[in-house]
A and B are shown apart, each in its own frame.
Chain A
Amino acid sequence: MDDVSFTVGRGEVAALLGPNGSGKSTLMRCLIGFFSPTRGRVRVAGLDVGDDPVEARRRLGYLPEQVTLYPDLPVRRYLEFVAGAKGLGRGSRRSAVEDVIGRCGLESVTGKLNGKLSKGFRQRVGLAQALLGDPPVLVLDEPTVGLDPVQTLELRALLRALRGRTVLLSTHILSEASALCTRIVILSRGRLVVEDTPEGLGRRLEGMSRLVVRVDGPLPEVAAALRALPGVARVDVEPAEDGSGQVLVVRAVDPVPVQRVLATTVVGRGWTLLEVRASAPALEDLFVRAVGR
């Protein structure tokens, strides 16, 4: 990590974005005091993590990227252990555990061993342990990775219900970031490349449009032909879902004239044009530009 500096305000939900290996997890481990930075400072709720790690951690709930739970403990007993380890007294422990069980929808699995839980429930137990002790700041490393679509939606709903807390979550799913967050920080190769609100990022994208083109023809030649068209900024090949034709994403400043020449070119070369669709500029475009891929 080098020269990364940003602030997440009280009650803000911020997303840490970046390709795999960009330093998201390392940054988060610095935040929770698991790693200490060789230079620089991390402050949580006004406390320096390096100077006062115990008090800083009291204000932090952390969900690691790989949720590792003691496999031989049942869910409720595990949460009671975490409540004790976080220093909760006997009286408040029970109600705190009940509270997170209800909040994370764990009622049906309280007696089940951690090792027997599905991925979705494991993630929820991970979130529940982070919420114990009612920390004002949450650091969630890839909270929805590896979940099926239904589980992902459920977990997002859970995350939305956490309003009022300061949350920093990492993800490489851009739609998740724009759906959940009020601030987006993009990392690439250990450096901060963009920090903005989702709206601000949207504004940066104005003037760049996407055309999704589906063509039945030889892929390298089609891509080369499209790249050669006037007004085209960039052409990317995407995997086709159903195998009929090739899907290419064409980016252009002004899509309308490009659309016209594109159709005549494809037909003129004897290929079949199956689909041309203009789509709104997406965060992906900015992301791709920002991380230089």
Chain B
Amino acid sequence: MRAFVALLRKELRSYFGSPLVYVVAAVFLAYTGYYFHTDLVYFVTFGFGVAIMENLWQLVFLDIRLVLMLAVPLLTMRLLAEERRLGTLELLLTYPMRDGVVVAAKLGACLLVLAGLLASTLVYPLWLHGVQAFPLAPVAAGYVGLLLLGAACASYGLFVSACTDSQVLAAFLTAMPLLLLWLLSWNEAASASGSLAVVRAVSMFNHFQPFTVGVIDARDVFYFVFLAGAFVWATLRVLEARQWRGRR
């Protein structure tokens, strides 16, 4: 536990000690703010009235999702790739703790940063609620969905970062499949009817969609937790592979 806390603090310090996290946060807030503004204008212009969840927040959450997908690779790329490049991983893995502690602390720090980014967007619903009251619980469900989606993407990013010592490559290989998953479900019309069911079942965004209208389904929660767990497991196997591959 002490080792976990020490590592978590070091990870957070190295996040906030580099300009990257501030740039990512600024861009994240600028984009989400812009999307909130345009979605709100759309909502007000067409006068959807009481159906605020479907006609405003769903759009906002789907837009935040896209910005989140661009932010995650930038936050995960250095986690293990940098330690590999510097060679500090060898020393770190000789301290009296399990590899899992290293992985947990790194993922934990990344999730805290992601949660911080998402928390800063709470300003939009809270401000709007002050102007005109609406049920907040479904909006909270949307945030739960964003956190779960972020956790799954981050643990995938951590896994990629464990596989290479190049941060650029790690970011690229994290972003590409995420984009592909998005495109797959976005362009549903192009899929053959047989493959459509499969695409829907595996697509992260089809599992994310219910959250955006305020529905938390146990199957969707399980899907994201399973995905995050699977990539943590894969990351541990990559770290273990040093033992038989003989690489730093």
A and B form one complex = yes
B123 within 8 A of A: no
Q: Are A129 and B91 in contact (CB under 8 A)?
A: yes
In the bound complex, CA of A26 to CA of B246 (Å): 9
B148 → chain A closest CB, angstroms: 30
* Contact with B90, one of A58, A68, A82 (Cβ below 8 angstroms): A68
Q: Are A68 and B88 in contact (CB under 8 A)?
A: yes
- Nearest to B6 among chain A residues (CB) is A84
- The residues of A that contact B18 with a CB separation of less than 8 Å are 72
Please report the total number of B residues contacting A with Cβ < 8 Å.
26
B5 within 8 A of A: yes
In the bound complex, CA of A281 to CA of B112 (Å): 64
In the bound complex, CA of A72 to CA of B9 (Å): 14
Q: Are B96 and A68 in contact (CB under 8 A)?
A: no
B159 → chain A closest CB, angstroms: 21
- The residues of A that contact B17 with a CB separation of less than 8 Å are 72
B185 → chain A closest CB, angstroms: 40
* Contact with A66, one of B9, B87, B246 (Cβ below 8 angstroms): B87
**In the complex, which residues 199-243 of chain B have their Cβ closer than 8 Å to any Cβ of chain A?**
242-243
A45 within 8 A of B: no
Q: Are B94 and A85 in contact (CB under 8 A)?
A: no
B162 → chain A closest CB, angstroms: 16
Of A34, A66, A81, A129, which is in contact with the most chain B CB atoms at under 10 Å from its CB?
A34
Q: Scoring B residues 69 to 100 as 1 if CB is less than 8 Å from chain A, else 0, what string do you get? A: 00000000000000000111011111111100
Q: Are B5 and A84 in contact (CB under 8 A)?
A: yes
A57 within 8 A of B: yes
Interface residues on chain A, size class? 20 to 34
- The residues of A that contact B10 with a CB separation of less than 8 Å are 70, 73, 81
A54 within 8 A of B: yes
Q: Are A55 and B96 in contact (CB under 8 A)?
A: yes
In the bound complex, CA of A26 to CA of B244 (Å): 12
- The residues of A that contact B86 with a CB separation of less than 8 Å are 68, 70-71
- Residues A87 and B2 in contact in the complex (CB < 8 Å), given A35-B246, A81-B10: yes
* Contact with A89, one of B2, B92, B95, B244 (Cβ below 8 angstroms): B2
- The residues of A that contact B92 with a CB separation of less than 8 Å are 85
* Contact with A86, one of B87, B90, B95 (Cβ below 8 angstroms): B95
- Nearest to B17 among chain A residues (CB) is A72
**In the complex, which residues 143-191 of chain A have their Cβ closer than 8 Å to any Cβ of chain B?**
none
- The residues of A that contact B7 with a CB separation of less than 8 Å are 84-85
**Interface residues, chain A, CB within 8 Å of chain B?**
26, 29, 32-36, 54-55, 57-58, 60, 62, 64, 66, 68-73, 81-89, 129, 133
The 3 A-B residue pairs with the shortest CB-CB distance, nearest first, are A84-B6, A68-B87, A58-B96
